[in-house]
Structure 1
Amino acid sequence: MAGLERKRRFLMTADRKREARERFLLGGIVVRAGLSNADRAFLLGGLLEMKRLVPGTPEHRRLCDIGELAFRAAAFDGGLERFEKAPE
Structure 2
Amino acid sequence: MQSARNEDRKKDTREKIQLGGLVVKAGLREMNKAVLLGWLCELDERLRNDPGEWARLEAMGKRGFEDGKQENDATDRTGSTDAGGSDRNEGD
RMSD of aligned residue pairs (Cα, Å):
2.4
- Structure 1 residues 81 and 68: CA distance shift in structure 2, 3 A: farther
1:46-85 equivalences in 2 (<5 Å): 46-52=39-45, 53-54=47-48, 57-78=51-72, 81=86, 84=88
TM-score, length-scaled by structure 2: 0.72
User: Whose helix fraction is larger, Structure 1's or Structure 2's?
Assistant: 1
- How many residue pairs match? The answer is 77
SS state of the match for residue 48, structure 2? coil
Greater relative contact order structure (CA < 8 Å, 6+ sep): 1
After superposing on structure 2, the runs of 4+ consecutive aligned residues of structure 1 that deviate more than 6 Å are: none
Larger radius of gyration: 1
SS in 2 for 1:34: coil
